[in-house]
Amino acid sequence: MGTWLAALALTGILAPHAPGAQGRKPNIILIYSDDHGWADLGINGSDKDIKTPHLDRLALDGIRFTRGYVTAPQCVPSRAGVMTGRYQQRFGVEDNNKGPLPLAEKTIAERLKAAGYATGMSGKWHLDIAPGKQGDKAHRLMAAHMPHAQGFDEYWRGELRQYHASHDLAGMPLADAPRVVNDGRFRVVVQTEAAQSFINRRKADPGRPWFLYLAWYAPHVPLESPEPWFSRTPGHLPLQRRQALAMIAAMDDGLGRIRRQLKETGQENNTLIFFVGDNGAPLGNAWDGSLNTPLAGQKGMLSEGGIRVPFLAAWPGVLPSGKVFDHPVSSLDIASTSVAAAGLPAEPSLDGVNLLPHLLGEKSSAPHDRLFWRWGSQAAVLEMPYKLVALGDRDRMLFDVSTPQGEHHSRDLSAKHPEIARSLEGKLKAWSKDLNPPGLPNSLDRHHESLFGEHGILKAKASSAVDPARGWLCRNGTLSVGPDGLAVVKDPKANGNNKVFIARAGLDLAGPVVATLRIKAVTGGKASITWRTREESFGAGQVAAFDWPAGAEWREVKVDLPDKNKILHVRIIPPSGAVGAVTESIELRGADGAGKSWKFLRDK
Active site residues: 75, 126
Backbone phi, then psi, for 165, in 5-degree steps? -130, 155
* Best CA proximity match to 89, nearest among 441, 435, 440, 438: 435
Cβ-proximal residues to 531 (8 Å cutoff; 6+ apart), any chain: 513, 538, 542, 561, 563, 567, 568, 569, 570, 571
Label residues 180-190 b or e (16+ Cβ within 10 Å = b). Answer: ebebeebbbeb
Q: Around Cβ 361, how many Cβ atoms within 10 Å?
A: 12
Q: Any idea how long the chain is? A: 604
Instruction: Indicate the pairing of strand 323-325 with strand 63-65.
Output: parallel
With H, G, I as helix, E, B as strand and everything else as coil, classify residue 370. Answer: coil
Tell me the one-letter amino acid at 267: Q
Q: Which amino acid is at 486?
A: L
Query: Are 210 and 27 within 8 A, CB to CB?
Result: yes
d(CA 350, CA 120) in angstroms, rounded, equals: 22
Write the burial class of residue 40 (CB in 10 Å: 0-12 exposed, 13-18 middle, 19+ buried).
Answer: buried
The rounded distance, in Å, linking the Cα atoms of 553 and 556 is 10
| Alpha-carbon span 189 to 181, nearest angstrom | 15
Residue 63 to residue 359: CA distance in whole angstroms: 8
Q: What is d(CA 145, CA 159) in angstroms, rounded to the nearest whole number?
A: 16
Q: How far is CA 167 from the centre of its chain?
A: 30
Question: What are the backbone dihedrals phi and psi of residue 253, each rounded to the nearest 5 degrees, phi first?
Answer: -65, -35
With beta carbons less than 8 A apart as the criterion, state whether 276 and 331 touch. Answer: yes
Q: Please name every residue paired with 381 in a beta bridge, in sequence order, or none if there are none.
A: 372, 388
Find, among 503, 510, 480, 470, the residue nearest to 597 by Cα. 470
532-571 as b/e, with b when 16 or more CB fall inside 10 Å? bbeebbbbeebebebebbbeeebbeeebebebeebbbbbb
CB 152 within 8 A of CB 228: no
Q: For residue 34, which amino acid is it?
A: D
- Give rounded-to-5 percent helix, strand, coil for the chain: 25, 25, 50
| DSSP symbol at 604 | -
Any residues with CB less than 8 A from the CB of 348 and at least 6 apart, and which?
A: none
What is the DSSP code string of 64-128? EETTEE-S-SSHHHHHHHHHHTS-GGGGT--STTS-S--TTSPPHHHHHHTTT-EEEEEE---SS
